[in-house]
Amino acid sequence: MLPWAGFLGRLVEFLLEGLGGHGFDRDPDYKKFTALGLLKLHDSLRHHENLIRAFLLAATPFLSNAKPRLYRTAFSNITYGGEIATPGFQNGLRQLHSVLMRYEPKVAMLLMGKARSQGGSTTSSFLSPMRNELVPTEHSVFAIGYTAPSQHLLSYNFEDMYKTVAEACWPRQPEKSLGWAMKYSPTDFLLDLVQSSLIEGVIQADRLDQLKELYYPLETQLPTVTQVCDRLNQFVLENFALTDLLHVNAERTSTF
C-alpha cells in the first residue's frame, strides 16, 4: 500500500468533506464508532508517512552514488511495516463507510463494493491490487515488486466519481439508491478505477533507473500524506473527546 499513500490520503480527505458539518451527539455509540474509525485511518496513514520517509532515507545513498546498490534489510523492514499498517486502514475504512451510510448516503455509495449477490462485499475491495513487497529475482540480490497509481489517479477528482456512482443508481433517492446498490450493484467502482489506471513495477537492487520511477513519486506524495494526517488529527480533536475513543458503548456494557 506504500506507493498508494497519496491517493488514499486524497480519498480520505474527500470522505472527511462528507462527514463535515454532521453532529454525532444524537447517538453516543455511533459517535464512538466514528471516532475509532477515523483514528484507525489516521494511525495507518501516519505509519505509511513514516514508511515513505524510511524508504527515501534508505534509497538516498544509492541515488547519490554513495552506495553501489540497495540493501535488503531496510526494505524488508519497510515492506513488513506496510503489511502491519494496511489492516488498520481497511478496518477504519469499513467503519467510516458504515457511518457515511447513516449520515451521507450519497458519499457512502462511492465506497460501495459489488453486491453480495454479485460475489462482492459491502465495502469496496479497491485495496486488493495495491502491493509493495520483496519478490524473487535472478538479476540482483533482491527486488521490490509494487503497484502504484498513475498520474491520472494521483490527480483524480473524486467528485467526478461521486457523480458517476450517483447517476448509475439514478433516479432513486439517496437512501433508496444505497439500498439498491447493496442488494444489486454489479460494479465495484473504486476497484475498477484502481485496476484500470495502476502501474506495475519492479526495482532491482542495482537498477538506479528503476528506483527513480518510485522514489520521485513517493517524494512528491509525501506532503499530501502529511497534510491529510494533520487534518484527520485536527478533525478528531475538534469533534470528539477522549472518552469517544474507548472501546465500549455508551452504557459500557459491551465492546465494539
The pLDDT tens digits of the residues spanning 73-95 come to 999 999 999 999 999 999 999 88
| Count: domains in the chain | 1
The answer to whether residue 123 is domain-embedded is yes
Task: Give how far the C-alpha of residue 222 lies from the chain's centroid of Cα atoms, to the nearest Å.
Answer: 14
Please identify which residue in the block is written with the cell numbers 473527546.
Answer: 241
20: pLDDT strictly greater than 80: no
pTM comes to 0.86
Residue 96 has pLDDT above 90, yes or no: no
Query: In the prediction, which pLDDT does 256 show?
Result: 45
Which residue shows C-alpha cell 472518552? 243
Question: Is 254 a domain residue?
Answer: no
| Among the listed residues 231, 240, 246, the one whose alpha carbon sits nearest the alpha carbon of residue 31 | 240
Give pLDDT, residue 255.
Answer: 47
- Residue 185, pLDDT score: 65
User: Does an H or E element contain 208, and which?
Assistant: helix 208-239
- Distance in angstroms (rounded) separating the CA atoms of residues 38 and 98: 12
43 located within any domain: yes
Task: Tell me phi and psi for residue 199, to 5 degrees.
Answer: -115, 135
Q: How confident is the model at residue 42 (pLDDT cuts 50, 70, 90)?
A: very high
pLDDT average, residue stretch 205-226: 95
Of 35-39, 52-56, 68-72, 192-196, which one has max mean pLDDT?
Answer: 52-56
**Is 246 part of a structural domain of the chain?**
no
Element (H, E) at 134: strand 132-135
Show the domain range for 217: 2-240
Selected residue with higher pLDDT from 88 and 140: 88
Amino acid in position 6: G
How much of the chain is in helix, strand and coil states, percent to nearest 5?
65, 10, 25
- pLDDT band (50, 70, 90) for residue 97: confident
User: If pLDDT is split at 50, 70 and 90, which confidence band does 245 have?
Assistant: confident
pLDDT of 122 reads 74
Q: What average pLDDT does the segment 10-39 reach?
A: 79
DSSP alpha helices (H): ranges in 64-172? 72-103, 105-110, 151-154, 158-168
Residue 54 lies in a domain: yes
* Cα-to-chain-centroid distance, residue 42: 10
Is pLDDT above 80 for 134? yes
138 vs 170, which has greater pLDDT?
Answer: 138
Mean pLDDT, range 124-136, rounded to an integer: 91
Is 96 within a domain? Answer: yes
The predicted structure's pLDDT at residue 253: 44
Distance CA 146, CA 151 (A): 16
Residue at 89 is within a domain: yes
pLDDT at residue number 49: 96
In a domain, 111, yes or no: yes
